[in-house]
């Protein structure tokens, strides 16, 4: 059996899940982030195959028809999905697979992999969340307003997760996430 598992990270946009996942990967060699596919446009500084696999909608729909995704969802009029292959590669290489996905995707993954541990990263407040979105300087005021509206929907699903981490102080939130990974590792070793 593999001593690797699946860790699901979800949060409203700007909640800090991606930054936490990257910091976790930077501090440990037993975890890696799956690279999702998306139909959204590439943002400045993003690399295909590193941040996302950027594909067009017809390609994404073909992948859906071929059952290549463990989960996929439509978010802000774009498709996002995690391929089964990306998870299997990480686990075969002895890594815990971190899925940086929304609550819809998390629900689908938990159905297929009930042993997956799910973590919801909460911002300390909606005001802080809006400040974070504005500091990124990647979205228009209209997009930020839409993201804030969607954030309330995302947050309403927090109780569906195994663990809730409030990302008020980054280092404390990262330490909590480290503890979750250590718990996942221990649980897998006991099951073996």
Domain boundaries, given as residue ranges, for the chain: 6-191
What value does the mean pLDDT take over residues 140-151? 85
DSSP bridge partners of 96: 31
| Residue 34 predicted with pLDDT over 50 | yes
Mean pLDDT of the chain: 89
pLDDT given for residue 48 in this prediction:
96
2 confidence band (pLDDT: 50, 70, 90): low
pLDDT given for residue 187 in this prediction:
66
pLDDT given for residue 1 in this prediction:
40
How far apart (Å, rounded) are the C-alpha atoms in residues 184 and 179? Answer: 9
How far apart (Å, rounded) are the C-alpha atoms in residues 99 and 8? Answer: 5
Listed in sequence order, the residues at least 6 apart from 76 whose beta carbon sits closer than 8 Å to its beta carbon are 40, 143, 146, 147, 150
pTM for this entry? 0.82
| Residue 88 predicted with pLDDT over 50 | yes
User: Which of 38 and 144 is assigned the larger pLDDT?
Assistant: 38
What is the CATH architecture assignment of 6-191?
3-Layer(aba) Sandwich (3.40)
How far apart (Å, rounded) are the C-alpha atoms in residues 101 and 123? Answer: 16
pLDDT given for residue 12 in this prediction:
87
What value does the mean pLDDT take over residues 117-122? 94
pLDDT given for residue 55 in this prediction:
97
179 confidence band (pLDDT: 50, 70, 90): very high
Backbone φ and ψ of 117, nearest 5°: -100, 130
């Amino acid at each position: 059996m593999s001593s690797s598992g699946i860790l699901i990270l979800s949060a409203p946009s700007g909640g800090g899940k991606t930054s936490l996942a990257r910091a976790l990967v930077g501090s440990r060699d037993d975890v890696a982030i799956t690279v999702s596919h998306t139909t959204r446009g590439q943002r400045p500084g993003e690399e295909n195959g590193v941040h996302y696999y950027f594909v067009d909608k017809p390609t994404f729909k073909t992948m859906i028809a071929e059952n290549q995704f463990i989960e996929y969802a439509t978010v802000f009029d774009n498709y996002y999905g995690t391929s089964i292959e990306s998870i299997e590669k990480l686990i075969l290489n002895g890594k815990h697979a971190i899925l940086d996905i929304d609550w819809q995707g998390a629900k689908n993954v938990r159905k297929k992999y009930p042993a997956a541990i799910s973590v919801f990263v909460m911002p300390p407040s909606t005001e802080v969340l809006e400040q974070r979105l504005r500091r990124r300087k990647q979205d228009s005021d209209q997009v930020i307003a839409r993201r804030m509206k969607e954030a309330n929907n995302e947050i309403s699903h927090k109780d569906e997760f195994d663990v809730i981490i409030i990302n008020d102080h980054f280092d404390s939130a990262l330490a909590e996430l480290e503890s979750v990974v250590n718990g996942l590792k221990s649980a897998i070793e006991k099951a073996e």
